[in-house]
């Protein structure tokens, strides 16, 4: 009826409840029937207003784009992100393709106008924003204002009602601290990530919570925040190990930071883990290649990308916005942790 012109462009359609009654079928049957129409751009669901025929409905299914937008990509291309970004991007693209979309990955929200977000000449069906810094919230607000379906990966703390995919990063670090405390460590240091980084802040909160839960004082910290790199970890771990009353364990915000901490320890003839336990975060490929292999918390990178694509598809189909999809980390114990040295 849309293709025939019975429902002209811009017309508000009867509600799902009215269609269910008119056609004598179940409400969920109508709901499911409308989902592919929304995906193909024939209808537009507007929260609180109803369902409308698209301005330029095309009866032939068109290729529609799901975009993964990384606003801070210009600041993210350090060595850690070579491990971090590909798993998310690949899973998002694979899931978007499986759902019938054309995936796209872009570095910022540069082409916006009312009701549309464009990539090249194409109009996006929806946008997933991979947040890294609080400054990325401005991109969320800008895209949300266009009414384009939107989800975020990581926590958005702005004024908009947004569907989010969130990893329990604080809980992951707290689990690492519980592991170290369970081995008998009391002097546990922490080397965090960059300032103003959302993940680094969550992981730091998790370290403090883990220490409190274990009944341990939060005394042993690196001198300052640092990048997710082995060089940063090496420099900051050296300061801790050269100090008085050095820690017996160092927990870190990244596997790359942990690699640097191990190097600093070995340069000072400290054995890992006999003299010093070291943990990472991420469970990237490097964690298994280090000697000793690294105890760490696994970030579910593929699940982050895939879940974002699925959540976005549901928002496009008219599911209410504001849902939270949470993902777990997983503690992986390897050879870089042991009981603290005696004495």
Mean pLDDT over 302-308 rounds to 97
Q: Is the pLDDT of residue 76 over 70?
A: no
User: Tens of pLDDT along 101-149?
Assistant: 999 888 765 444 444 555 554 568 899 999 988 888 988 888 888 788 9
Least confident of 50-59, 95-104, 328-337: 50-59
C-alpha torsion angle, residues 90, 95, 111, 199 (rounded to 10): -60
Mean per-residue pLDDT for 269-289? 96
Residue 214, token pair as written in the block: 């274990």
Region 171-187: mean pLDDT is 97
Cα angle for residues 268, 183, 270 (degrees, 5° grid)? 5
Q: Which residues, 6 or more positions from 299, have their beta carbon under 8 angstroms from its beta carbon?
A: 84, 167, 169, 172, 281, 282, 283, 329
Instruction: Please check the confidence at residue 163 and state whether its pLDDT lies above 90.
Output: yes
DSSP state of 300: -
- pTM of the predicted model as reported, rounded to 2 decimal places: 0.79
Asked whether this chain's domains 65-168+301-330 and 169-299 adopt the same fold, the reply is yes
78 pLDDT more than 90: no
Mean pLDDT score of the chain: 85
DSSP class of residue 5 equals: T
Domain 169-299, CATH number (from 2.40.110.20, 3.40.50.2300, 3.40.50.1110, 3.65.10.10)? 3.40.50.2300
More confident residue, 244 or 279: 279
Parse the chain into domains and list their residue ranges.
1-62, 65-168+301-330, 169-299
Comparing 20 with 217, the larger pLDDT belongs to 217
More confident residue, 155 or 38: 155
Q: How confident is the model at residue 92 (pLDDT cuts 50, 70, 90)?
A: very high
Question: Which residues 6+ apart lie within 8 Å of 18 measured at CB?
Answer: none
Evaluate if residue 40 carries a pLDDT over 80: no
- Considering the domain 1-62 in this protein, what is its CATH number? 1.10.10.10
If you search the block for the tokens 């079928």, which residue do you land on?
25
Class of domain 65-168+301-330: alpha beta
- Residue 10's pLDDT is 73
Quote the percentage of the chain above a pLDDT of 90: 55
Q: What is the pLDDT of residue 221?
A: 67
Rounded Cα–Cα distance for residues 25 and 298 (Å): 46
In which band, very low, low, confident or very high, does the pLDDT at 152 lie, cut at 50, 70 and 90? Answer: very high
- What is the distance of C-alpha 29 from the center of its chain? 33
């Amino acid at each position: 009826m849309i293709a025939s012109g019975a429902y002209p462009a811009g017309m508000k359609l009867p509600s799902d409840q009215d269609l269910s009654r008119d056609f004598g079928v179940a409400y969920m049957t109508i709901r499911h029937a409308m989902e592919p129409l929304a995906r193909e751009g024939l209808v537009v669901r507007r929260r609180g207003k109803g369902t409308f025929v698209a301005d330029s409905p095309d009866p032939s299914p068109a290729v529609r784009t799901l975009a993964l937008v990384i606003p801070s990509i210009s600041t993210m291309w350090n060595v850690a992100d070579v491990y971090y970004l590909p798993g998310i991007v690949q899973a998002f693209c694979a899931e978007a393709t499986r759902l019938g979309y054309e995936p796209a990955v872009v570095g910022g929200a540069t082409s916006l106008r009312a009701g549309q977000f464009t990539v090249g000449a194409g109009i996006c069906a929806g946008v997933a924003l991979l947040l890294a810094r609080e400054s990325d919230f401005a991109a969320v607000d800008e895209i949300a204002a266009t009414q384009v379906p939107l989800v975020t990966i990581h926590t958005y703390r702005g004024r908009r009602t947004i569907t989010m995919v969130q990893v329990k990063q604080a809980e992951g670090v707290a689990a690492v601290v519980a592991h170290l405390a369970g081995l008998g460590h009391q002097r546990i240091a922490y080397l965090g990530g960059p300032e103003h980084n959302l993940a680094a802040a969550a992981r730091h909160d998790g370290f403090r919570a883990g220490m409190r839960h274990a009944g341990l004082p939060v005394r042993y910290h690196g001198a300052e925040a640092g990048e997710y790199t082995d060089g940063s970890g090496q420099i900051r771990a050296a300061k801790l190990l050269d100090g008085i009353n050095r820690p017996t364990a160092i927990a870190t915000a990244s596997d790359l930071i942990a690699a640097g901490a191990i190097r600093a320890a070995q340069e000072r003839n400290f054995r890992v883990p006999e003299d010093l336990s070291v943990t990472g975060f991420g469970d990237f490929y490097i964690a298994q290649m280090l000697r000793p292999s690294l105890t760490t918390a696994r970030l579910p990178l593929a699940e982050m990308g895939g879940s974002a694509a699925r959540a976005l598809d549901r928002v496009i189909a008219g599911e209410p916005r504001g849902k939270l999809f949470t993902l777990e980390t997983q503690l992986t114990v390897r050879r870089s942790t042991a009981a603290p040295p005696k004495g």
